[in-house]
Amino acid sequence: MDHTALSLIELGAVFFGLGALGRLAGKIGMSPIPLYLIGGLCFGQGGLIPLGDIGDFTHLASEIGVVLLLLLLGLEYSAAELFTGLKRSWVAGLVDIVLNAAPGAIVALILGWGPIGAIVMAGVTYISSSGIIAKVLGDLGRLGNRETPVVLSILVFEDLVMALYLPILTAVLGGVSFLGGMKAVGISLMVITVVLVIALKFGRYVSAAVDSPDREVFLLKVLGAALLVAGVASAMQVSAAVGAFLLGIAISGSTAENATHMLEPLRDLFAAVFFVVFGLNTNPASIPPVLGWAVVLAVATTLTKVGTGWWAARRQGIGKMGRARAGAALVARGEFSIVIAGLAVAAGAVTGELAALATAYVLLMAILGPTAARIVEPVARALQRKPFGSKSPASQTG
């Protein structure tokens, strides 16, 4: 069969399969990310039916997926909201780093993956999934709850940490010298500072530059700007994903809202390809040896995230039920964890076992997170009941 025809058939099968998996995930009320990863595992190296040579397209599509994920994340915040969130949550954010980065780093060192593996796994276990959490809070009708601003503030802090972490990780994975690494971090800090100042002072001009009443022109300008900024950021040794995130912050007001609505379908498409590609590059046979460690990390970091949310909500004077909801909401890991592991795998700086562990861990956490958020309230209420079936006084709802 002609190579082009075969490639079109394979891509069509991949996209149709992703649609079927997404529909299945919606029916059972879970994030589609685990199913996308499983789909990639089934059709990648060591899978049931390995796909042919569509690697060039899927690699580029997965890179675009990361850029769009971070762009739309940035569009959710203005620079002023970022600063407000940072002021409100910096103490809880530091606690979050210590409690949730440590388990991943410790396991990596125990498994003999060295400092680079520890840095990678620290990021994998630290960062919560903003996309999964936002969807779960919306589905459960908790966006107006008192504890929700606490959750969002911690997520904002994590996003800012990622803006610093990803350039450092890129430099480390690239094997640059200490001086070169410090230079990369300095450039990253300078770029982040300049963009945030521009966003605060001149955001309306950035928005005007990409805005257009014509939907086609608007789409081309926003997407083109995102890819252009991501490419320039990558050339300056700043993560392409961070560049897209900062561009999203600089776009504000109605332009940001319109860009979000316009780009969401593209983000979902290319992000799905990204998760599938990560699964394609992970051999399913490498998962069973690290599955036990994935369970250990899942249990440990579920407890640490719940503890982080509980403590942060308590500092804001929120009741016990609200604290429990805040902690459970933060449990989910997803896109960012895979982005971090994907960067490490692409650089060839880590063992294949790390990719397998990250995949198994995200599979568990992307399922466990939404489940915990849904059941935390009935479980907490059941625990508050008195013996012999009598109920306690009305519990605090936060």
Tokens representing 129 are 């999934």
Written as one letter, the residue type at 182 is M
Mean pLDDT of the chain: 81
Rounded distance, CA 162 to CA 128, Å?
11
Does residue 311 surpass a pLDDT of 60? yes
* Averaged pLDDT for residues 359-388: 81
Domains of the chain plus CATH, in order, are 62-378 (1.20.1530.20)
The pLDDT score that the predictor gives to residue 392 is 45
**44-64 pLDDT tens trace:** 665 556 665 566 677 788 788
Round to whole Å and give the CA distance between 306 and 374.
Answer: 14
Q: Report, as an integer, the average pLDDT of 220-241.
A: 82
List, in order, residues 6 or more apart from 79 with CB less than 8 Å away.
196, 199, 200, 203, 249, 250, 252
Angle between helices 148-173 and 335-347 (to 10 degrees): 0
| φ/ψ of residue 350, rounded to 5 | -130, 165
- Round to whole Å and give the CA distance between 126 and 104: 8
Range with the poorest average pLDDT among 70-79, 102-111, 349-358: 70-79
Q: Residue 397: pLDDT band by 50, 70, 90 thresholds? A: very low
pTM of the predicted structure, to 2 decimals: 0.74
> Residue range 105-117: average pLDDT?
93
Mean pLDDT of 363-381: 86
Percent residues over pLDDT 90 in the chain: 23
pLDDT tens column, 131-185? 778 778 877 888 778 888 888 788 878 877 887 787 778 778 877 665 666 776 6
